[in-house]
Amino acid sequence: MQSWRRKSLWLALSASWLLILLRVFPVLRLKEPARRQAGSPQGWPHWLDTELLQSFSQPGELLEDGLQPPQAPRGGSCTQGACFDASRCRGGGLKVFVYPAVGPISETPRKVLTSIEGSRYHTASATEACLLILVLGPDTPAGECHPVPPQWDGGKNHLVLSLHPAPCLRIFQLGQAMVAEASPTVDTFRPGFDVALPLLPEAHPLRGGALGQLRQHSPLPGVALIAVAEERGGWRTAGTNFSACPWDGRCEQDHGPKQTHPGAMLPNATFCLIPGRSPDALHFLQALQAGCIPVLLSPRWELPFSEVIDWTKAAVVADERLPLQVLAALQEMPLTRVLALRQQAQFLWDAYFSSMEKVIHTTLEIIQDRISGASAHPSLLWNSPPGALLALSTFSTSPSDFPFYHLQQGSRPLGRFSALIWVGAPDQPPLKLIQAVAGAQHCAQILVLWSSKKPPPPRWPETAVPLTVLDGHRKASDRFLPYSAISTDAILSLDAHSSLSTSEVDFAFTVWQSFPERMVGFLTWSHFWDEAQGGWGYTGERANEFSMVLTSAAFYHRYYHTLFTHSLPKALRTLADESPRCVDVLMNFLVAAVTKLPPIKVPYGPWHQEARPPPLAPGSPRLRAEPQPAAQNCINRMAAGFGHMSLVSSRLRLDPVLFKDPVSVLRKKYRSLEKP
Amino acid sequence: MCASVKYNIRGPALIPRMKTKHRIYYITLFSIVLLGLIATGMFQFWPHSIESSGDWSVEKRSVRDVPVVRLPADSPVPERGDLSCRMHTCFDVYRCGFNPKNKIKVYIYPLKKYVGEAGVPVSSTISREYNELLTAISDSDYYTDDITRACLFVPSIDLLNQNSLRVKETAQALAQLSRWDRGTNHLLFNMLPGGPPDYNTALDVPRDRALLAGGGFSTWTYRQGYDVSIPVYSPLSAEVDLPEKGPGPRRYFLLSSQVALHPESREDLAALQARHGEAVLVLDKCSNLSEGVPAARKRCHQQQAFDYPQVLQEATFCMVLRGARLGQAVLSDVLRAGCVPVIIADSYVLPFSEVLDWKRASVVVPEEKMSDVYSILQSIPRRQIEEMQRQARWFWEAYFQSIKAIALATLQIINDRIYPYAAISYEDWNDPPAVKWSSVSNPLFLPLIPPQSQGFTAIVLTYDRVESLFRVITEVSKVPSLSKLLVVWNNQNKNPPEDSLWPKIRVPLKVVRTAENKLSNRFFPYDEIETEAVLAIDDDIIMLTSDELQFGYEVWREFPDRLVGYPGRLHLWDHEMNKWKYESEWTNEVSMVLTGAAFYHKYFNYLYTYKMPGDIKNWVDAHMNCEDIAMNFLVANVTGKAVIKVTPRKKFKCPECTAIDGLSLDQTHMVERQNNCQK
């Protein structure tokens, strides 16, 4: 009884406490909303008669908005549709004719002319062309401008190209001509019709060009945050603690520790502040080259190639009227974004700006994209490595067909490969090789490229996969033609005398699937700088590093056939045809120029060594007897053709996980790699 | 209620004396308490209901009751509008100075009814769509009701349709807004600009410097980077339920559904149909519609009637031709049907073209090429068409579907211009969710082989095994590329040995003392790390030679975005809390390397410390385990690439390392494996 009473007493007590709490809390709670009501947004009212409101358009008004005859293009404004006659390009795609120079011309226009003539769109006949280019030089006095060319026709289908602010440009009655001008002002620029070019320095190289300066992905801890472009062409770096605007004369005394660099020096900082006046556009390219993120302060000029390049990924366009906020934003920018901007700026420099040739070819590519409409480069191809000049839209417009974009697309290359066996003049049908390859797990088809003078044998061995014989033209570059019979992404390129085991093929293909943009090969060469000869050389000697894999046994993506055939200058391909050994070098050059990475070496059984064909390895004894200069000349001419040495060396080889590990052979997936 | 409290306080003393009455006493007490509870409950809800009814009276008003403003005939009219306006010339950014979190603040003027001198209303007060639009802004994060802090001002004057307003008087109404100031920072919405006979492509109301979000801009009236081109909202979006239809070939290849077309266009269409027969369907108004069927919902071809917009789902491509205006509501219907729009309207600035990549969802054909349109479309590969169909539908869902979507996209575009460093990326605007989920953007995407000269920083995490630690330090210091050695002293109870006791090595050695014994300390992005390459090594890994470590660094240089490690058995060799063993130890695939000895990029330290998803980091710290698995998953997750294992054997002539079958891992696995990790 007592306990019951005590319990109920406690209950009553706690209940009354609860009451007190409940009495007090509502007061507190009520206060909260009351205060919020005073300061919180009132919001747009909810009208009682919302349901009764009329629609903004009368029924039928959206359907019939009156009839109007087609509009004629208004003067001064042109669009691609109105002022460019694309039907003239219908036949053979874009064909470009450039008016030859009159009289002596200076260095820059000559480089422009050379670049246009080197383009795959160039034609020598003005009647055949659908785009006629007039190059204006920088230093012609206003009185002696280029005469209006005979085919001018009101400027229709013309492109007036001026890499410097040209006095002549405004003298022309431009009419319907497109203008490609360096750093055009935003007010005169016609988006979608004109092309904005970068403002290039006087001594911009013709091809190749200086590589970007970025050597590492992330900025070093000690590097200055900001470099400011100065009027005289130099850069001034400063620490992070600006107390006021670093680019405004008003607060000159507030600068932190500062250093002034001479004009030619590239800035070494994370961000490069560039004022918006037109002459400062020159700084823009310097910043890109240095991998310094350009911060443009209310630019009054159109950014170069803004039609296709997404500059928000590589530069920051800020308002010069808000100095402190811009600085705060730069200081607080997350590392992830800083990394992305830096790398993108550097990629754009390498892809589109580092040489005159790239700038001109990009211009033509933009016009080609406008003409081709739906089969133009998608934005991804322009804005991620290796860039639209190296990702041909004639191959495909779907990014997942290329080897470069699988990560971004969330796709994978096709899980099969095609073996392409090249049978040269003295060779016998490679029956043993066909069997070895056909037994590979992922082999989809075998293609025999018959380049021998003898007719191919009427009968081929029975294989598990389809075998097709293609007829070659007995040229070395034949093997890299984009044959339509190739149905897979991966190609295993083989020679008739190559010797491979099924296990090696299987493993190499697995590796290729991880690196679809690279070449994966078994035999390697390396290049070196020959001091004695003053040129490049290469050797098949076994060394600690390599930079090329032989295409007599290598996996690579089908796309490189298209690129080899359609993008390489004719001179280089002829060179390859003259000296068959050059084909290997050329293909390696091409892939390295695209990926900027070395090829990959996979294990190759030592028991194959006897079968290794002597004529293919320049280091082997029989070849040493041959006159070396021809072969060495080949690599030097390629380096000249590409503008720089694009090969990259590697020091590693990829093996299966349990390769030569002390475990039972039975547990290994590729056991025959270790024992023949 | 206060009484009951007092009662209770006295209670314990009274009870023993009132034994016989205790029953009544308790009953009374309980009833009082009960009453109190009920009263409190009532009190709780009472003020609320008063308050909300007060709200009711404030918010729920009728549109007809809004205050009337009479505009004198001679009140000022704004300037016509400056075609050279750009954000950095005509927009006053100083007003956006206060906005936190990189978000602009938008103020909406209260609704008023404007009448002219004679008392004739200037326009219909507000349309349903404009009301929706203002509600959407008001409900969004952009809204502020404080006019002094606002960066952007939206008048409540409805300008959506120029036909329903009087141009001059509306302009006067704009000019008398309290913060008008030549229209600076004012945003006007218009969908149907111009009027007969010349149909201007931008709103005719003089608006000075105000930004215009307009439907149907042409390149001549559009101020690039200042105005925003918006779609013309199609009321059918809300009226009709149209389930999504997957991409793929459809019954008709090309369809035209617009009714008001210029005779010339009609001729072209008829010619197309004549040439290609069944593949092309040209629809027109129905002449004999029965009563009650809205004209907007039916289209006819000869005598055959079709339901609109359902018929659009039967076609692969749908024409969007220019009418009197450039902007056509049919574009919205077409996108919704997953039909690829073929836009034939020269100089039309497509909706949101500043951010949307229309090449991915539409085909733009010049007007003079209209007769070739069929062959142009035929040349598009099928896969690309399917991609465009998906993209079209996604554009509609994201940016066309409702007035709200249109309003928010417009504000986002303006916001991105003002805070460019916090802007939304191309991918965020354009990639449909399916692509966003599956794609990986490698943070270290630039192909780059870092120079060897930079070297690496070795980080040794240690607790108290000083002897073993010194052996590791001596061994690691022999590696030629080592540039700095960092010892993370994780023991708070014991001081690290004196300086003189440490082994003398040729590179700087730095001891970092931590505040807490956490495994995550190993992955902290210390400022002392001045190289990109980091070697994480346990204080018990003494069997790796300097050659092996040097080779590991060389491998990392060629794969800077991957983890490069040595096999796990090294880790198992001596680890006091090692209760788990990985099956992957001796299989043919490797998905992880142990961070007991591994090279990786310093950036992953930053990611581990600041960007690690969920509570994984806390889990690791709480359980003192699995930090290496967390790191492996993190790297695989952000780069989508597998690890590299380096074989640690001395007697190899040529340097070798091991590849793996590529594995990419996702977040869900991560959590699962986390839980399995400690068996």
Q: Find all residues with CB under 8 Å of A168, minimum gap 6, and list them.
A: A136, A140, A142, A145, A146, A162
**A36, A62, A350, best to mutate vs chain B, most B CBs in 10 Å:** A62
What pLDDT, on a 0 to 100 scale, did the predictor assign at position A324?
81
Encode pLDDT of A271-287 as tens digits. Answer: 998 888 777 788 899 89
B177: pLDDT strictly greater than 60: yes
Q: What is the C-alpha to C-alpha distance for residues B540 and A443, in angstroms, rounded to an integer?
A: 46
B637, amino acid identity: N
Which candidate, B338, B345, B325, places its Cα nearest to that of B216? B325
Cα dihedral A641, A643, A645, A646, rounded to 10, equals -90
B97 or A308: which leads in pLDDT: A308
Q: Is B658 on the interface with A (CB under 8 A)?
A: yes
Q: What is the C-alpha to C-alpha distance for residues B314 and B303, in angstroms, rounded to an integer?
A: 18
Which residues in chain A are closer than 8 Å to B12, comparing Cβ atoms?
9
Query: Are B189 and B158 within 8 A, CB to CB?
Result: no
pLDDT band at B602 (very low <50, low <70, confident <90, very high): very high
Query: Are A276 and A320 within 8 A, CB to CB?
Result: yes
| A-B C-beta contacts closer than 8 Å | 388
pLDDT band at A629 (very low <50, low <70, confident <90, very high): low
What pLDDT, on a 0 to 100 scale, did the predictor assign at position B415?
94
A669: pLDDT strictly greater than 90: no
Tell me what the mean pLDDT of segment B21-50 comes to: 66
Which candidate, A376, A408, A443, places its Cα nearest to that of A192? A376
What pLDDT, on a 0 to 100 scale, did the predictor assign at position A625?
31
Q: What is the C-alpha to C-alpha distance for residues B137 and B107, in angstroms, rounded to an integer?
A: 9
Which candidate, A246, A337, A334, A343, places its Cα nearest to that of A292? A343
> What is the percentage of chain A residues whose pLDDT exceeds 70?
80
Dihedral sign, Cα of residue B79, residue B84, residue B85, residue B90: negative
Cα A546 off chain centre by: 25
Encode pLDDT of A301-360 as tens digits. Answer: 889 999 999 999 999 988 888 888 888 888 888 889 999 999 999 999 999 999 999 999
Tell me what the mean pLDDT of segment A157-181 comes to: 75
Encode pLDDT of B128-172 as tens digits. Answer: 999 999 999 999 999 999 899 899 999 999 999 998 889 999 999
What pLDDT, on a 0 to 100 scale, did the predictor assign at position B576?
41
Q: Is B382 on the interface with A (CB under 8 A)?
A: no
Which residues in chain B are closer than 8 Å to A26, comparing Cβ atoms?
40, 43-44, 47
What pLDDT, on a 0 to 100 scale, did the predictor assign at position B212?
95
- DSSP lists the bridge partners of residue B453 as none
- DSSP lists the bridge partners of residue A531 as none
Beta strands in A401-465 (DSSP E): 417-423, 443-450
What pLDDT, on a 0 to 100 scale, did the predictor assign at position B58?
47
Nearest chain B residue (CA) to A2: B16
Which parts of A138-280 fold into alpha helices (H)?
Answer: none
Which residues in chain B are closer than 8 Å to A648, comparing Cβ atoms?
449
pLDDT band at A247 (very low <50, low <70, confident <90, very high): low
pLDDT band at A193 (very low <50, low <70, confident <90, very high): confident
Which residues in chain A are closer than 8 Å to B421, comparing Cβ atoms?
316, 318, 326, 329-330, 333, 337
Q: Which two tokens stand for residue A117?
A: 């003539």
B251 or A254: which leads in pLDDT: B251
Tell me what the mean pLDDT of segment B74-83 comes to: 85
User: Do the chains contact at B554 and A651, CB–CB below 8 Å?
Assistant: yes
The alpha-carbon gap from B464 to the nearest alpha carbon of chain A, in Å, equals 30
Query: Are B443 and B639 within 8 A, CB to CB?
Result: yes
What pLDDT, on a 0 to 100 scale, did the predictor assign at position A44?
87
Encode pLDDT of B436-472 as tens digits. Answer: 888 888 899 998 888 888 899 999 988 888 888 999 9
B587: pLDDT strictly greater than 80: no
B45 or A121: which leads in pLDDT: A121
User: Do the chains contact at A20 and B5, CB–CB below 8 Å?
Assistant: yes
User: Do the chains contact at A410 and B435, CB–CB below 8 Å?
Assistant: yes
pLDDT band at A145 (very low <50, low <70, confident <90, very high): low
Nearest CB among B61, B164, B363 relative to A45 is that of B61
Q: Beta strand pairing status for A467-471 and A524-530?
A: unpaired
The alpha-carbon gap from B126 to the nearest alpha carbon of chain A, in Å, equals 7
**B446, B452, B453, B559, best to mutate vs chain A, most A CBs in 10 Å:** B446
Which residues in chain A are closer than 8 Å to B300, comparing Cβ atoms?
none
Tell me what the mean pLDDT of segment A152-159 comes to: 83
The alpha-carbon gap from B408 to the nearest alpha carbon of chain A, in Å, equals 15
A263: pLDDT strictly greater than 70: no
3-state secondary structure of A433: helix
A33: pLDDT strictly greater than 60: no
Mean pLDDT, chain B, rounded, equals: 82
A83: pLDDT strictly greater than 90: no
Q: What is the C-alpha to C-alpha distance for residues A636 and B284, in angstroms, rounded to an integer?
A: 68
Q: What is the C-alpha to C-alpha distance for residues B441 and B428, in angstroms, rounded to an integer?
A: 12
What pLDDT, on a 0 to 100 scale, did the predictor assign at position A256?
44
Tell me what the mean pLDDT of segment A610-633 comes to: 44
What pLDDT, on a 0 to 100 scale, did the predictor assign at position B394?
95
B318 or A409: which leads in pLDDT: B318
Q: Is B578 on the interface with A (CB under 8 A)?
A: no
Query: Are B163 and B267 within 8 A, CB to CB?
Result: no
User: Do the chains contact at A56 and B423, CB–CB below 8 Å?
Assistant: no
Q: What spatial distance separates the first Cα and last Cα of chain B, rounded to whole Å?
A: 59
Q: What is the largest CA-CA distance in chain B?
A: 112
Query: Are A443 and A417 within 8 A, CB to CB?
Result: yes
pLDDT band at A173 (very low <50, low <70, confident <90, very high): low
User: Do the chains contact at B654 and A653, CB–CB below 8 Å?
Assistant: yes
What pLDDT, on a 0 to 100 scale, did the predictor assign at position B495?
87
Query: Are B147 and B107 within 8 A, CB to CB?
Result: yes
Query: Are A610 and A604 within 8 A, CB to CB?
Result: no
- DSSP lists the bridge partners of residue B69 as B114
What pLDDT, on a 0 to 100 scale, did the predictor assign at position B436?
82
> What is the percentage of chain A residues whose pLDDT exceeds 90?
27
Q: Is B220 on the interface with A (CB under 8 A)?
A: yes
User: Do the chains contact at B126 and A41, CB–CB below 8 Å?
Assistant: no
How many other C-beta atoms can be found within 10 angstroms of the C-beta atom of residue A362?
A: 23
The alpha-carbon gap from A464 to the nearest alpha carbon of chain B, in Å, equals 25
* CB-count burial class (<10 Å; 0-12, 13-18, 19+) for A615: middle
Encode pLDDT of B381-399 as tens digits. Answer: 999 999 999 999 999 999 9
Nearest chain A residue (CA) to B325: A65
Nearest CB among A191, A215, A343 relative to B445 is that of A343
B42: pLDDT strictly greater than 80: no
Provide ipTM, 2 decimals.
0.85
Cα B617 off chain centre by: 25
Which parts of A40-187 fold into alpha helices (H)?
Answer: 80-83, 107-117
What pLDDT, on a 0 to 100 scale, did the predictor assign at position B460?
92
What pLDDT, on a 0 to 100 scale, did the predictor assign at position A21?
63
- DSSP lists the bridge partners of residue A553 as A494
Catalytic residues of A: 584
Which residues in chain A are closer than 8 Å to B374, comparing Cβ atoms?
none
pLDDT band at A22 (very low <50, low <70, confident <90, very high): low
User: Do the chains contact at A86 and B128, CB–CB below 8 Å?
Assistant: no
Total number of residues shown for chain A: 676
Q: What is the DSSP letter of A213?
A: -
> What is the percentage of chain B residues whose pLDDT exceeds 90?
39
Q: Which two tokens stand for residue A600?
A: 């990959």
Nearest chain A residue (CA) to B642: A514
B36 or B645: which leads in pLDDT: B645
Q: What is the C-alpha to C-alpha distance for residues B321 and B268, in angstroms, rounded to an integer?
A: 12
Q: What is the C-alpha to C-alpha distance for residues B641 and A645, in angstroms, rounded to an integer?
A: 28
User: Do the chains contact at A16 and B30, CB–CB below 8 Å?
Assistant: no
A377 or A3: which leads in pLDDT: A377
What pLDDT, on a 0 to 100 scale, did the predictor assign at position B590?
62
**B83, B419, B421, best to mutate vs chain A, most A CBs in 10 Å:** B421
Which residues in chain A are closer than 8 Å to B366, comparing Cβ atoms?
80-82, 86
Mean pLDDT, chain A, rounded, equals: 80
The alpha-carbon gap from B260 to the nearest alpha carbon of chain A, in Å, equals 5
Tell me what the mean pLDDT of segment A239-268 comes to: 51
A155: pLDDT strictly greater than 50: yes
Tell me the Cα Rg of chain A.
33
A131: pLDDT strictly greater than 50: yes
The CA-atom distances, in angstroms, between B185 and each of B95, B150, B171, B415 are 9, 9, 16, 12
B361: pLDDT strictly greater than 80: yes
3-state secondary structure of B410: helix
A608: pLDDT strictly greater than 80: no
Q: What is the C-alpha to C-alpha distance for residues A592 and A595, in angstroms, rounded to an integer?
A: 5
User: Do the chains contact at A410 and B590, CB–CB below 8 Å?
Assistant: no
What pLDDT, on a 0 to 100 scale, did the predictor assign at position B48?
47
The alpha-carbon gap from A621 to the nearest alpha carbon of chain B, in Å, equals 23
Q: What is the C-alpha to C-alpha distance for residues A444 and A78, in angstroms, rounded to an integer?
A: 52
DSSP A311-373: GGGT-EEE-TT-HHHHHHHHHH--HHHHHHHHHHHHHHIIIIISSHHHHHHHHHHHHHHHHHG
What pLDDT, on a 0 to 100 scale, did the predictor assign at position B323?
85
Least confident range from A201-215, A356-370, A659-673, B127-141: namely: A659-673
Q: What is the C-alpha to C-alpha distance for residues B499 and A23, in angstroms, rounded to an integer?
A: 66
Q: Is B240 on the interface with A (CB under 8 A)?
A: no
The alpha-carbon gap from B299 to the nearest alpha carbon of chain A, in Å, equals 11
**A44, A310, A441, A542, best to mutate vs chain B, most B CBs in 10 Å:** A44
DSSP A548-581: EE-TTEEEEETHHHHHHHHHS-HHHHHHHHHSTH
The CA-atom distances, in angstroms, between B469 and each of A537, B459, B600 are 47, 11, 21
